[in-house]
Amino acid sequence: MAGPAPLSGIKVLDLTKLAPGPFCTMILADLGADVIKIEEPGPPTGRRAQQAGVANAQGPGAGFSGSPFNALNRNKKSIGLNLKSQPGKEIYLRLAMRADVVVEEYRPGVAERLGIGYEKLAARNQKLIYCAITGFGQTGPYRNYVGHDLNYIATAGVLSLLGRPGQPPTIPHNLIADYAGGGFHGAIGVLAALVARQQTGRGQYVDISMMDGSMALLAQAFSTFFSNGNLPKRGETPLDGAIPNYNTYLTSDGKYITIGAIEPWFFANLCRAMGREDFIPYEFDSSKRAEIFAFFTEKFKTKTRDQWYEILTQSDICAGKMLTLDEVPNDPQVKARDMIVELDAPGGQKVKQVGISVKLSETPGSIRSLAPTLGQHTDEILTGLGYVPEDIAKWREEGSIR
């Protein structure tokens, strides 16, 4: 029988809006943390409206905080709080007194100017873990520069490696800096700080830079460069398209099959499956690459992607179908791992979301609720803090809360 969720009882205040922060707190919420989203009351205006519009352009329902389709805000509660108002600030400070974790993604110095920064909160709650996710971090000459994923991966060196030879670099959506560099590293930092707090009894400041996180993904690439001094070029290394046995190929149905037969025994299996055992001795012979490439390119056009996948996987060859987003939910491995889940929304509709990637045998995470509407839990949260209905009604009328 499964035990309680691993982060059960951990209270998190979420001041974030776009990509890295909400993804970080989604991970914590999926693992059982009690996450409260602090949201500005009223409809989006100015920069906030523009941010919502940009997010919404990524897909249906993606740009609205309370949309049941928005997986990033699942398992969270929402309170509408104007942090520039005196009541809003007072309520936030009271929440922070009882919190274990705060996650924010303001530009450096903004939280301090609002009077809600780490030093002020830590003076009242020494066990508080305060995670700030920014583009370049809290220190250094770029700390105040604005940016987005593309800018951070460019500075980190990641972008220089993405793409084909002689072509402009490939822009990899906003997956690397936002989600891996910022969101995942933010969650790791919070979890590490929670473990450290068990040892020291104190919280700490977690400074997450999306650029730093992106650089960390290049740890092996940098190690190789530092050891031999050879600067890798786009599309000219074994892992980014330079060799025929680690590449993508168009099939007869206009789809793509991916090949990752790097090890000699996998390459040998691939050559046998393609009817060219004579290629086996030449895996590392650069003079034969063009010939092997040309043969593979034409050979893969003779069958469909799925036909090739069946042949290659049955021959112990590293192969994969390049699936589009509409195909992924029907993949048998995705189904077996519960990586697409269907949930019931309050309105009765069925909502599909990506499932929980961290599989724990004894204390698994869960999706307990869909994204809340703005201020859905304001009364519940304020009542729990000891505020009376008269004050709540007054502050709502003033616009300090929603």
CB 213 within 8 A of CB 139: no
Q: Which two tokens stand for residue 34?
A: 């009690």
Angle, CA of 241, 247 and 252, to the nearest 5°? 135
What are the Cα distances from residue 391, in Å, to 16, 77, 93, 386? 26, 21, 17, 11
Under 8 Å CB-to-CB from 170, ≥6 apart: which residues?
162, 163, 164
Angle, CA of 143, 146 and 148, to the nearest 5°? 115
- Strand, coil or helix: what is 299? helix
Under 8 Å CB-to-CB from 330, ≥6 apart: which residues?
none
DSSP class per residue in 336-365: HTT-EEEEE-TTS-EEEEE------SSS--
Among candidates 230, 236, 258, which has minimal Cα distance to 322? 258
Out of 30, 100, 149, 178, which one is annotated catalytic?
178
Q: Which two tokens stand for residue 203?
A: 């919280």
DSSP class per residue in 306-328: HHHHHHHHTTT--EEE---TTTG
Instruction: Examine the residue annotation and report whether 185 is marked as an active-site residue of this protein.
Output: no
User: CA-CA distance, 96 to 22, in Å (whole number)?
Assistant: 18
Q: What are phi and psi of 154, to 5 degrees?
A: -65, -45
State the angle between helix axes of 389-398 and 86-98 in degrees (0 to 180), rounded to the nearest 10. 130
- Strand, coil or helix: what is 236? coil
How many helices (DSSP H) and strands (DSSP E) are in the chain?
Answer: 15, 11
Contacts of 321-329 spanning 24+ positions with Cβ under 8 A: 321/255, 321/256, 321/257, 321/258, 322/248, 322/255, 322/256, 322/257, 322/258
Instruction: Examine the residue annotation and report whether 178 is marked as an active-site residue of this protein.
Output: yes
Residues acting as catalytic residues: 148, 178
